[in-house]
Structure 1
């Protein structure tokens, strides 16, 4: 049972669009490597898990762009936390696929 869902949009502060895409792809690769359930959307990636793990992922998503050459990064983060559980990504979106 998931207790937290986080949607994160990472915006590296870099003007070259090809570099932005490379950096965002690396952030998504990192998210995939965590083993958490996730779904990539056109503006943000949604991740499900426990709040402690997800907050560590959010932190790491800020560090990756800087390590890859962006002078800074901005992120928009939405958090839904419910200790009793929540609707999963699949429960919210499968009916539209």
Structure 2
């Protein structure tokens, strides 16, 4: 069972004020290619997995933004770490209909 949930909002600084959406799409692609369970919402994406793996994905996302031409990146990250296990469903099941 996963021991962490990590939510991230990535904000790359783009050249000449370019639209950030292609960058955000690429950041989500990094998550998708990792194979971890994730959920995209309007303002952030939440990943479920092992803490160290999720933090590595956050690093890869930031590195990918620089590869795409960002001069810097702000990542707002929230972490729920539960060594005994945690899932997104545990936190949201009462709101699902």
Match of 1:44 in 2: 44
CA displacement at 1:30 relative to structure 2 = 1.0
Structure-to-structure mapping, 1:3-82, within 5 angstroms: 3-14=3-14, 15-17=17-19, 20-82=20-82
Q: Deviation per CA, 1:53-79, whole angstroms, max 9, x where unpaired?
A: 011001111111110011111010001
Aligned-partner Cα distance in 2 for 1:96–1:63 = 35
Structure 2: which 5+ residue stretches go unaligned?
Answer: none
How does the TM-score come out when normalised to structure 2?
A: 0.89
Deviations 1:3-23 (A, max 9, x none): 000001100112212xx1111
Q: Which consecutive aligned stretches of 4+ in structure 1 deviate over 4 angstroms post-superposition?
A: none
Partners of 1:2 and 1:74 in 2: CA distance? 26
Distance (whole Å) between structure 1 residues aligned to residue 40 and residue 50 of structure 2: 19
Structure 1 vs Structure 2 CA RMSD: 1.3
